[in-house]
Structure 1
Amino acid sequence: MQWWWTVVSAFSAYLYLHVLCRLLGRKVLSQFNFFDFASAITIGALTSQIAIPSKDWKQAALAVGIFTVLTLLLDYLIQKSPGLRSLVNSKPKMVIYKGQIDSQQLRKARLNLDELLTILRQKNVFHPGDVYCAILETDGQLSVLPKSDKMPITPSDLNRKPPEKGMMNDVIKDGNIITKNLRHAGYDDKWLQQKLREQGVQSIGEVFYAGVDGQGALYVSKRDKAGIESGNIYLQ
């Protein structure tokens, strides 16, 4: 019966963790501060003890519940108190201003010069002098504002306003037409079939994904055959 009790315990732990995550709400991993990350690891470790039958599973479940309550309480207090928010999450730090690197702010952020230059290159900035300001956010991400003469030209700079493409409506997934989305976009099956033929597609079954934007442009991605015909490109 030990294996059966293991299955029941693992299933119960899974449901328990799912409920706790719903209570805690959604937060992207990149938005975690260090404390959020440590709490998530601890909750996961304690939940694993619930999944494995032992005499301590009740204590582990209680500990996970306490961690969840404390996390919810801290999130609530952070929302109500800007001072506590600054204490827990720290403050954003401006590490570059008008092309000049602030070494003092770098030291406070425990970020060295090589790391800063690497992050800038990842954002397609290869010269710190091109940066008007760079702010190290509380989640560890670097927000970079280039100087005005280093920004790419946009249509608004040329007093032009191109038509909005809008969101892509999924009309075919894995060879199946999503009729509801097609109707919502203002088109029917006849229009879809015509557009597919214009792109050399004779059967819906050939399509892995298709979507239509606000301008009526249809994007089509065929099944695996498209990847083979593209030249077998491999990424290391």
Structure 2
Amino acid sequence: MILETISLALISLVVLFILTRLMGYRQITQLSMYDYIIGITIGSIASEMVVLDDFNNMLRPLTGMIIYALFTIILSLLSRSSLAIRKFIEGNPITLYENNKIDSTALAKARIDVNEFLMQLRIQGYFDLTQLDTVILETNGNISVFPKSQYRPAIVNDLPVKPQREKPSLSLVIDGHILKDQLAFIEKDEKWLMSQLKVQGYQSYDQLLLVLCDQDNNITSYAKRN
């Protein structure tokens, strides 16, 4: 019995992994309400597989998971090829605030009350409605805020300077392990890296959680906490 439960759990995990990869990363990063419900349903079916009293009954929930996943994949392909289908499945963004007016009808349509609306704005750092030009509820449930021009954060293009291009820092050591491909990319070797770390008081890579190297080959290290 225990062996069957372990086997069913492993099978359900493998099937879930394969189906998730087939359905795409959108299931994780851009969940719509439909994606959310489908994800919960497939996960629920997978959990039922684990507690089956007979190994031979595995086919029914397995078939259900595959059908849900295939249906999601087909809808995704159709929505890419047709804007009308995409709007039908995902809906349209809803403008909640515009021209210094809160659209109460739009709030009711989105099933959001005023308190929740104001809370979402505060989470994004906006406490004064008069500073905002437009607020939109996106189809994935996120709220996009477009402030008025005089209240938008300054960017480099607003300043009389020409910034130099910066490259992201590279990880050379993670959790005590050297990333040799990254080290080779900056045309350095382990001897150079260790010499840099010794200057900072480290004698072993095992002491380090993370080591970063910027575009000027400056090393920033983060030690493990005991």
TM-score by length of 2: 0.88
1:4-19 → structure 2 map (5 Å cutoff): 4-19=3-18
1:77-133 per-residue CA deviation (whole Å, 9 max, x = no partner) reads 111221121121111112122443222222221111111110111111110111122
Residue equivalent to 1:234: none
Structure-1 separation of matches of 2:180 and 2:29:
36
Instruction: State the Cα distance separating 1:185 from its structure 2 match.
Output: 2.4
Task: Kindly indicate whether the alpha-carbon contact (under 8 Å) linking 1:94 and 1:136 is maintained by their aligned counterparts in 2.
Answer: yes
- Residues 53-90 of structure 1 show CA distances to partners (whole Å, capped at 9, x for unaligned) of 33543222222221122111111111122112112111
How many Å separate the matches in 2 of 1:208 and 1:65?
A: 41
- Say if 1:205 and 1:64 are closer, same or farther in 2 by CA, change over 3 A: closer
RMSD value, Cα: 2.1
| Cα distance, 1:190–1:99 mapped onto 2, change above 3 Å | farther
Letter of the aligned partner of 2:16 in structure 1? Answer: L
Return the offset for 1:28: 4.9
Alignment of 1:29-178 (within 5 A): 29=28, 31-55=30-54, 56-178=57-179
Counterpart in the other structure of 2:182: 181
One-letter amino acid of the counterpart of residue 129, structure 2: P
**Structure 2 CA distance for aligned equivalents of residues 98 and 196 of structure 1:** 57
The sequence identity of aligned pairs, in percent, is 28
Contact 2:27–2:35 (CA<8 Å) still a contact in 1? Answer: no
**Residues 203/49 of structure 1: CA separation in 2 closer, same or farther (3 Å cut):** closer
Aligned length: 224
Asked whether the 8 Å contact 1:98–1:129 carries over to 2, the reply is: no
Task: Sort the Cα spacing of 1:98 and 1:199 in 2 relative to 1 into closer, same or farther, 3 A.
Answer: farther
Q: What's the offset of the Cα at 1:30?
A: 5.2
Question: Letter of the aligned partner of 1:22 in structure 2?
Answer: R
Whether the 8 Å CA contact 1:165–1:215 is kept in 2: the answer is no
Q: 1:135 to 1:186 in 2, by over 3 A?
A: farther
Deviations 1:179-207 (A, max 9, x none): 22012123333443343344343443322
Q: TM-score scaled to structure 1, two decimals?
A: 0.85
Return the alpha-carbon distance in structure 1 between the equivalents of residues 3 and 176 of structure 2.
41
Distance between the aligned counterparts of 2:187 and 2:97, measured in 1?
Answer: 49
Measured after TM superposition, the shift of residue 155 of structure 1 is 2.6
Residue identity in the other structure for 1:47: A
Aligned to 1:26: 25
Structure 1 gap ranges (5+): 226-236
